Amino acid sequence: MLFDQYQPEDFFDEMFTSGNEVRPHYHAVGEALNAVSAEEFRNRQTAVEAAFMRGGVTFTVYSDSQGTERIFPFDCVPRVISAEEWDMVERGLIQRLTALNLFLHDIYHEQKIIKDRVIPPQYLLSAKHFRREFMHFEVPKNVYVHICGTDLIRDKDGRYLVLEDNLRCPSGASYMLENRSALKRTFPELFQAAGVRPVDQYPAELLKVLQYCAPAKFRGNDAPNAVLLTPGVFNSAYFEHAFLARQMGIPIVEGRDLLVRDHKVFMRTTAGLVQVDVIYRRIDDDFLDPSVFRADSLLGVPGLVNAYRAGNVSLANSIGTGVADDKVVYYFVPKMIKYYLGEDPILPNVDTYLASEPQDCAFILDNLSKLVVKSANEAGGYGMLMGPWASREEIEAFRKMIEENPRNFIAQNPISLSRHPTWCGEHFEGRHIDLRPYILCGEKIVVTPGGLTRVALRKGSLVVNSSQGGGSKDTWVLKH
């Protein structure tokens, strides 16, 4: 009933074919949802929102001085991925992270990929997050990126494309877990016939990765002491930090709880100083250690970088991984896969133009009103020009910025993201979505089946970021 008025229109719809037929892997969910009245759906949607508020599953918006707490809007219609499709996505993600970790090792050591002229040197040397200080540094177990969040989208033909890699401190995994548990409580009947792969092993797998990557010097008989380092309770992702620490059973610490002596990191406990072996840090490189990086950082721990260098503590992710999620370096990831693995990329990039290449730059400047322009190092939907929807002033402002600093910009053809039935107060309508799976790299690479599906709740909008009117959905990977 709720689907009676539904129109896939001229988009790739996850649930319906262009002929308005329900795709096979959506049959079970479709039937269960059809048995629910609009009023019932509305009630459950309200109940789930109240439960998020009650659980404090919120993020803080600092538009006013107080910092208002909001829930991350949640839509009860789950996004479903078939087993075959997931198999391909999973292989693609493993391939990509394998190559990225090899790339990071290479550019912090021999830099063969530059010497072999696969990537022009100027791009790496000018990358904002390249940490020259860490040349020839051996990271524990050779893992640079332990936790990766890769943003995938689907184009008008339903092809999965990589939009960007998040290799520094990707966030959102807690929402993947909370969304699942919320939907199980609200719509238990949806799960019965579907056969959905669980996601709640994520914290245990993350802990395994942290312990695996203990420093080479670690000689304890017990497992290493891991902690989660948070910027603090005022950070907008604090809920996630506390959630993951609680799920893993490790302490959550702030910079002020740690102290470095003799190149070792200690936490200040009621029982005195206790050594820390592994830090899952949710603080960017720049803020980690005010004695090395930004001196004005109040969040970090003086001496931490030297303790890390001395091999007494591990950091996840390692320092300097940001060079690989620079949007200009992104352009070269398919070439890296070919170069290091000798394979063709399973998940292609979105076609990308580099403003620093003269030919591309001319094309970009001529077509600003048709392209999406992104700055190389911004995240969260900031520093972006959506050409087709932008005002003339915005376009001219970007033209000036690109001409002044071409290295800092890339451009892509706008992708008409796939759409998904989403509750809009009375019935379901199509809304654009993306997908952020979480990939963990320890002894081996593990992808949690599913991830966080973000949905642009505003009609027609392509921006899925929570700071700009985005919400999220539970994401199902089917067993069969």
Partner 1 sequence: MPPVSNAREELARHKQANVMLARVAGSLYWMSRYLERAENQARLIDVNLQLLLDFGHVTDEQLKAHWLPIVRSSGDEALFNELYDTADSESVTEFMTFRTENPNSLVSCISNARENARQVRDQISSEMWEVLNDAYHFILGADAKTVWHEGASAFYDQIKRFSHLFQGITVSTFSRNEGFEFIQFGKYLERADQITRLLDIKYHILLPSASDVGGAVDTAQWHAVLRSASALEAYRRYYVADVFYKKVVEFLIFDDSFPRSLKFCCQEMDHFIELITESSAEAGDRTAIERFRAFLERLNELSVEDIFSQGLHEFLDEAQVEVGSIGGQLYSTYMYFPPVDLQAEIRFHQQQEQQQQQQ
Indicate which single residue of 82, 306, 349, 461 sits in contact with partner 1 (rule: CB under 8 A): 306
Indicate which single residue of 34, 43, 46, 269 sits in contact with partner 1 (rule: CB under 8 A): 269
Q: Is 171 helix (H, G, I), strand (E, B) or coil?
A: coil
* Of residues 88 and 298, the one with the C-beta less far from partner 1: 298
* Of residues 140 and 437, the one with the C-beta less far from partner 1: 140
State yes or no: residue 155 binds partner 1 (CB under 8 A). no
Residues 6+ away with beta carbon under 8 Å from 98 = 340, 341, 445
State yes or no: residue 61 binds partner 1 (CB under 8 A). no
State yes or no: residue 207 binds partner 1 (CB under 8 A). yes
Indicate which single residue of 32, 118, 242, 365 sits in contact with partner 1 (rule: CB under 8 A): 242
Indicate which single residue of 271, 342, 391, 404 sits in contact with partner 1 (rule: CB under 8 A): 271
The β-bridge partners of 422 are 429
State yes or no: residue 231 binds partner 1 (CB under 8 A). no
Site for partner 1 in 165-194 (CB under 8 A): none
Q: What's the CA gap between 202 and 439, in Å, rounded?
A: 10
Q: What's the CA gap between 9 and 21, in Å, rounded?
A: 13
Residue 178 near residue 474 (C-beta atoms within 8 A): no
Closest residue by Cα to residue 319 from 64, 91, 137: 137
Q: What distances in angstroms separate CA 406 from CA 125, 354, 376, 411, one per listed residue?
A: 15, 8, 10, 11
Token pair of 30 as six digits: 């479709």
Q: How far is the CB of 260 from partner 1 (least distance, A)?
A: 7
* Of residues 209 and 455, the one with the C-beta less far from partner 1: 209
The 3-class secondary structure across 262-320, one letter per residue, is CCEEEEEECCEEEECCEEEECCCHHHHCCCCCCCCCCCCCCCHHHHHHCCCCEEECCCC
Indicate which single residue of 85, 254, 284, 357 sits in contact with partner 1 (rule: CB under 8 A): 254
Q: How far is the CB of 278 from partner 1 (least distance, A)?
A: 10
State yes or no: residue 216 binds partner 1 (CB under 8 A). no
State yes or no: residue 319 binds partner 1 (CB under 8 A). no
* Of residues 85 and 254, the one with the C-beta less far from partner 1: 254
Indicate which single residue of 172, 203, 231, 290 sits in contact with partner 1 (rule: CB under 8 A): 290
Residues 6+ away with beta carbon under 8 Å from 222 = none
State yes or no: residue 381 binds partner 1 (CB under 8 A). no
172: left (phi over 0), alpha (psi -120 to 50) or beta: left
Site for partner 1 in 1-60 (CB under 8 A): 53-56
Task: Reply yes or no: is the peptide bond before residue 43 cis, omega within 30 of 0.
Answer: no
Indicate which single residue of 112, 159, 256, 370 sits in contact with partner 1 (rule: CB under 8 A): 256
Q: How far is the CB of 273 from partner 1 (least distance, A)?
A: 10
Closest residue by Cα to residue 80 from 432, 349, 406, 421: 421
Residue 371 near residue 345 (C-beta atoms within 8 A): no
User: Burial, 389: exposed, middle or buried (Cβ in 10 Å; 0-12, 13-18, 19+)?
Assistant: middle
Binding segment (CB under 8 A) for partner 1, from list 120-128, 187-195, 256-264, 417-425: 256-264
* Of residues 225 and 448, the one with the C-beta less far from partner 1: 225
* Of residues 245 and 385, the one with the C-beta less far from partner 1: 245
Q: What distances in angstroms separate CA 337 from CA 113, 325, 345, 393, one per listed residue?
A: 11, 15, 6, 39
- Tell me the residue length of the chain: 480
Residues 6+ away with beta carbon under 8 Å from 216 = 138, 140, 311
State yes or no: residue 225 binds partner 1 (CB under 8 A). yes
Binding segment (CB under 8 A) for partner 1, from list 113-121, 285-293, 336-344, 465-473: 285-293
* Of residues 71 and 372, the one with the C-beta less far from partner 1: 71
Binding segment (CB under 8 A) for partner 1, from list 91-99, 241-249, 415-423, 453-461: 241-249
State yes or no: residue 205 binds partner 1 (CB under 8 A). no
* Of residues 211 and 472, the one with the C-beta less far from partner 1: 211
* Of residues 30 and 203, the one with the C-beta less far from partner 1: 203
Interacting residues with partner 1 (CB under 8 A): 53-56, 207-208, 211, 221-226, 228, 233, 238-239, 241-243, 245-246, 249-254, 256-257, 259-260, 267-272, 274, 289-291, 295, 298, 302-303, 306
